[in-house]
A and B are shown apart, each in its own frame.
Chain A
């Protein structure tokens, strides 16, 4: 730049070079450095003033503590989700160009069009999700809530625009993400000085708005439609090293910025009713907090939903595996932007295209990233499928309903068949039932494909290749997918993707699958002709069972029959068994090659509690058995039945899994144990029990051994089955609610009997016996301690450590025994043995011991040392850190599937979220330019109630807000319209309604709306539609309180008139309408307009509503009396979420909700009819006319003379002769008088001057005099001092001499 060339040389003032120079200079002077200065002139460095020092110390400490933030537990996962970078700015400022340049900078790829979020790998540890934010205030609000970093583009040639400030204010309210300004259009400046000035001005304005020193980037000019490479590179560098502070709302709520949307609705439903609610799946990185399945979410712009299913997928844009290299290689620089068509899929308005080839990047990506690469390959290989998909993609079906190709027609033909089956079977529309049918078809159709895919899968070395589970989940998913118009071949890809994660398939989900897909599986098995003979009969049973389940009426009936417990149990068990056997079979059929391995792995994944050797089925049975046992224990009935079932099961299992020997063993054990338990249950005689106590103990131990593994299943597993069971007879309206304790009725009955938390002990152990007593001996302090905590041991160790010490009092020197000696003396033989065998280890051990000791000492020292300056803050921080470590470590070693169960889906995962009952407009009007956000809601945040806010009208908003006018709030994730009521809190805590918000003051507001945690910020706008040149944010504030009742009151004055006035008592009418009302107000304070205070006393009989009141003074008949009362205001329960995403594509920013009365009046041209009385009129005051004071004659006489009215005679006109003539001067006289007056003026002036002078002189004189006096006084004082000193000395001398003289005498005294 030119200005740089102009710059003069400046000597360095800092840095090593300057330092050196200074030193040299100082040494030349002979002064030396600072330390020397300290030595040279110690006085200058001493404490000058203690107060001052304390103050400075205080101040520094204040500054230091001011920097502290409240420490929070760091909950960021190890692999964080991509950073959300929001590029925001007014239109035509170059947002998309910046995004494109950034993407190109990071990935060397050029994107043509950018729609929706783009995820890129920007570094070894950082990914970015870049998203553009339009000027629609809805988008701005939504994106401000999810942004981690905001790139605020500013057109330097124009300056700041309203959008910028609006966005800044939105950010401030919803937690302040990092904000970086980027100035563009700098090339428009021709004048250099002008440019510099503008830059500076903009920078300082930006700083006041964000924080002083906020980073502002300058993008100077465009080269071939792109920004300069170096500048973009720098920007990218800044972005990728940026650090972020966690924002409260974001860290406490899970959220997903969806980067892909698919529709899963059954096409038939859409065909029947194109406006039916849709089922969609959304994809994206999970951010913020852990997401739980079935939790509530809010989609800003759409509404509240319950997640129907969540699953995690392999990361489509994963960070590089190993971290050793310096930089990323080309293959690792990934881009993922499905909405923009980079992920291989392009969304068009009415079709979905898959980008097959050509694009170099795409291919690379597929090779590198996609684990499900072969699926895509298979997709690509089946070209026809693509066509199918293109044609059958949901959107096309309803957008232009006619173009269905021949293939499609065929497929459509298939669909109804399936549907028909559904209809015939069950009148109710249950998803599961649907899948059952569809799946069958699927399997037929896909079986061959599946086979080779399976092989591929086996080849794929992904996590464990749990083929079966995948298979199952596949099928289920496929079932769903089929709903998408037989586009399954293509969708298989998706399904496969899911399959990988669906295998979380641990007990419950698997069971789910089994239960749902039992029937089909059986049938498929049949069709595949690979059934084994043993199972045929069971198969039949199974089929009957299945029939039951399928046939609704019959099912209900059978259920009723099955109310008798044993049967139910039996059937259930059988079905369970069958599940397992069938599943195994299915496994056999599908992949005959490596069935055992897969089985094992699958089972491992399923039982996964601990016993990997334990077969999954067995585990299942285990839990069942326990239930049995419980039942038999409690009721002791139907044991034979269960046994039968057991034996059945055994045989079956044997047949199926002859290879697993240990399973059988376990089974037998189980049976044994069961018998024993029964035995015990039967013979609960105390004596007998005592006899075989040891045996019992052993049994108990065994039982625990057996039972503990399935403790988890006992608690959760059974519940899952219940769920299934419930959903099986889903006739009842409970829906999502499932009763937990259905099968173990015994326990339920118990619970019914008495709901008590006490853990009653059935059989008390005999605590008189020695063995039993010894079993808890060590629980007491008197018992044996563990090695590291044993007091004696510790003491010993301490002695070793602090062995050598000298007792100062006694002077005795204690010497600790050397440890080695101790060892030798203690266990010499042992040592010798060891020595002979391993002399070296011995030495090592010693060394180790020494090291240990050293370490211990060091730790102790550290601890002591640290204790000195640890503050509360440090402690807190340390604690938080520890908690964070624990959080990370706790579930680290577990597989993702298990982790998900315990802690939910953790942030950083790429998840697929299924949502049902989404309005069809969302799908129809889907526009990838608008962000789709899924914001998780906390507990009870889905509820609606009264919310109290502290609110302030924004200072830039031009109008004040009116109570009871609808207002659009953005609070939490939500945007909604509601009717707030403004109030102000009076000094006595009363909430008084306000008609308008105050101009420049906070006020309270209450509205009916979603419950949001206290402390959450919000902003209000009056409308989200259209654009106005004015500032759009009307108010900001914070949530204070949530309540179910409200306390806003408004003033109500009741007026009345006196109709009879005694002295201070008046009768007042017209205030109330009945005696009862008066009775309610007895004792209330009333007042007249003129200010006379009074009290309501008692109601009068007539007229009705009149009462007697006393006042502090007599009223006039013209007085108006009023009583001030407070009337509670009800808040309109109006809560209307802004559904801007449901608007048609072009008009998403035109959402308008309820209008204000003002708007309506304006639109319809209705004038407000004003109350005539409340209009202001000119005040007309009559001139008051007072009569003359008339004093009666008698009174006049009695008055003293002073007060008597004087008989002042009326002064008549003075007669002419008494008039004094006017003096008219002669000209000469006039002159004289003028001269005289002039002279006198001069004289006067002179006199005045002289006076002033005199005064000054006097002052001077006084000063001198005072000085003299002072000196005199001083002199005198000194003289006096001298004299006194002499006197004093004399006195002292005298005293001394006297002391000397009487010294001995004193001592003697």
Chain B
């Protein structure tokens, strides 16, 4: 279901793709076309969050022919996929590091939609680039502030405040500079299902952003969650993320590695926390597709209190340049 929706999305952003699915739906033949971009709209399947679609769009958007401006509708925050808030807070700064910046790079949440019915709407816009800059991103720096959003839709607005309180109670032990926005959506912008959740980001002095998030159980599934508990858990997840550390948070590891691979024929370095299974799989794909192997050095922090061990990933870009961008 969501795969079909994803394929439709890919078909929309490309030009000249050939997609054949046999009658039983067991085999898929896909011949990629040219990334086209432009202003688009897409209704995502509510069985997966928008994050699922957005993640792949983040990888593709800088290499379109025309700048991408797409409206995605569906579930903005759920328990499975990285939520739009998190991607907005973490992936966009990461893209900026690779030289993909400008005013038009943005993610805007117009409406929030919680599972199971969704009804959220976001706008994602990204400029195009011909080449990416290599990055040397090996020093995460110290965390200087923690920001976050606590949202609640179609439930009492008090929920958000309760989450904030509980999260602060934990995080205040580490850092005084905490500000968590409460975002209560009303009326038409609140989607079709009730729910609440929270995402937290920790920003370091060097611009690294680590994130954690948690959302309530969808309506009618599982037990009800206390907002206090959720806030606390989310804060703990953030601490866990901090413990893992690295210059890129665990959700965006693969994105960072991909963009490094697609860079110029220069050395790029990035310090990551422990690699997630997804990233490991991703690395294998990178190797089979681009013949790129990363040099992997593990680094244990010299000091005791700097969290877990890190992985220094180094690679030489493949010298990819955006073939679809028109020159005049």
Measured CB to CB, the residues of A under 8 A from B are: 73, 75, 252, 289-290, 292-295, 704, 708-709, 711-712, 714-716, 719, 737-738, 740-741, 747, 750-751, 754-759, 761, 764-765, 767, 773-786, 883, 886-887, 890-891, 901-904, 938-940, 945, 1011, 1013-1015, 1040-1045
Interface residue from A751, A764, A775 paired with B304 (Cβ < 8 Å): A775
Q: Is the CB of A757 within 8 A of B265?
A: no
B87 to chain A, nearest CB (A): 10
Contact indicator A73/B34 (Cβ below 8 Å): no
Q: How far is the CA of A295 from the CA of B284 in the complex (A)?
A: 17
* A-side contacts of B176, CB under 8 Å: 782
Chain B 289-314 interface mask (CB, 8 Å, partner A; 1/0): 01111111010100111111101001
Given A756-B52, A759-B276, A774-B304, 18 more pairs with CB closer than 8 A: A289-B265, A711-B298, A715-B296, A719-B284, A757-B55, A758-B276, A759-B244, A761-B237, A761-B240, A764-B236, A764-B237, A765-B240, A767-B236, A773-B174, A780-B174, A781-B143, A887-B266, A938-B320
Contacts of B245 in A (CB 8 A): 776, 779
Taking the complex as formed, is B318 at the interface, i.e. its CB lies under 8 A from any CB of chain A? yes
Q: Which residues of A sit under 8 angstroms from B16, Cβ to Cβ?
A: 945, 1043-1045
Closest chain-B Cβ to A144's Cβ sits at a distance in Å of: 22
Given A783-B142, A1041-B327, A1044-B33, the answer on whether A747 and B281 have CB atoms closer than 8 Å is yes
Residues of B within 8 A of A73 (CB): 264-266
Distance between B163 CB and nearest chain A CB, rounded to angstroms = 17
Distance between A690 CB and nearest chain B CB, rounded to angstroms: 14
Scoring B235, B269, B285, B323 by chain A CB atoms within 10 A of each residue's CB, the highest score goes to B323
A948 closest partner in B (C-beta)? B326
Scoring B279, B284, B303 by chain A CB atoms within 10 A of each residue's CB, the highest score goes to B284
A694 and B58 CA atoms in complex are apart in Å by: 41
**How distant is the Cα of A786 from the Cα of B181 in the complex, in angstroms?**
32
CA distance A716 to B293 in the complex (A): 8
Pair count A-B, CB < 8 A: 219
* B194, CB-defined interface residue at 8 Å: no
Q: Which residues of B contact A (CB under 8 A)?
A: 15-16, 33-34, 52, 55, 65, 80-82, 134, 136, 142-144, 170, 173-176, 205, 233, 235-237, 239-240, 242-245, 250-254, 264-267, 269, 275-281, 283-285, 287-288, 290-296, 298, 300, 303-309, 311, 314-316, 318-321, 323-328
Query: What is the minimal beta-carbon distance from B315 to any residue of chain A, in angstroms?
Result: 7
Contact A1013 B267 (CB under 8 A): no
**Which of A747, A758, A940 contacts B251, CB < 8 Å?**
A758
Min CB–CB distance B100 → chain A (angstroms): 18
Of A741, A780, A1042, the residue contacting B323 (CB under 8 A) is A1042
Q: Once bound together, how far apart are the Cα atoms of A902 and B317, in whole Å?
A: 10
Contact residue among A780, A939, A945, A1040 (Cβ-Cβ distance under 8 Å from B318): A939
Q: Which of B55, B134, B323 contacts A1014 (CB 8 A)?
A: B323
Across-interface contacts of B264 in A (CB, < 8 A): 73
Taking a contact as CB atoms closer than 8 A, the residue among B15, B174, B175, B327 that contacts A1043 in the complex is B15
**Is there contact, CB below 8 Å, between A779 and B142?**
yes
In whole angstroms, what is the CA distance A767 to B232 when docked?
10
> Could you say which residues of chain B place their CB within 8 Å of the CB of A293?
291
Known interface pairs A719-B284, A758-B80, A779-B142; A1011-B327 also in contact (CB < 8 Å): no
3 closest A-B pairs (Cβ-Cβ)? A1044-B16, A759-B276, A759-B250
Answer whether A904 and B324 are a contact pair too, CB < 8 Å, given A719-B287, A1044-B16.
no
A-B contact pairs, 10 of them (CB 8 A): A73-B265, A292-B290, A715-B283, A716-B283, A719-B284, A776-B245, A782-B174, A783-B305, A1013-B321, A1044-B34
Q: Is the CB of B142 within 8 A of A780?
A: yes
B144: chain A residues within 8 A (beta carbon): 780-781
By the criterion CB–CB under 8 Å, are A945 and B34 in contact? yes
B266 A708 Cβ-Cβ under 8 A: no
Question: With the chains together, A714 CA to B174 CA distance in Å?
Answer: 35
Also in contact, A294 and B291, with CB within 8 A (given A758-B82, A759-B278, A1041-B326): yes
* Distance in angstroms between the alpha carbons of A292 and B292 in the assembled complex: 8
Tell whether, in the assembled complex, residue A1042 and residue B34 are in contact, meaning their CB atoms are under 8 Å apart. yes
A890–B267 touching, CB < 8 Å: yes
Question: Within 8 Å CB of B65, what residues of A?
Answer: 1043
Among B242, B292, B328, contact of A779 (Cβ-Cβ < 8 Å): B242
User: Cβ of A741: which chain B residues have Cβ within 8 Å of it?
Assistant: 281, 284
Find chain A residues with CB under 8 A from B287 CB: 716, 719
- Expressed in whole angstroms, the Cα–Cα distance for A886 and B174 within the complex equals 36
- Which chain B residue shows the least CB distance to A719? B284
CA distance A778 to B141 in the complex (A): 10
- When distances are taken between beta carbons in the complex, the residues of chain B under 8 Å from A1040 are 326-328
- A1296 to B15: give the CA distance in the assembly, Å: 90
CB A1148 to nearest CB in B, in angstroms, measures 33
Max count, chain B CB within 10 A of own CB: residue among A73, A784, A903: A903
A1013: B residues at CB distance < 8 A:
321, 323
- Contact (Cβ within 8 A) A708 B52: no
Given A714-B280, A764-B236, A781-B143, A754–B80 Cβ distance below 8 Å?
yes
Q: Which residue of chain A has the shortest Cβ distance to B86 in the bound complex?
A: A758
Tell me if B174 and A777 are in contact (CB < 8 A). yes
Closest to B83 in A: A758
A886 close to B275 (CB less than 8 A): no
In the complex, residue of chain A having the shortest beta-carbon distance to the beta carbon of B232: A767
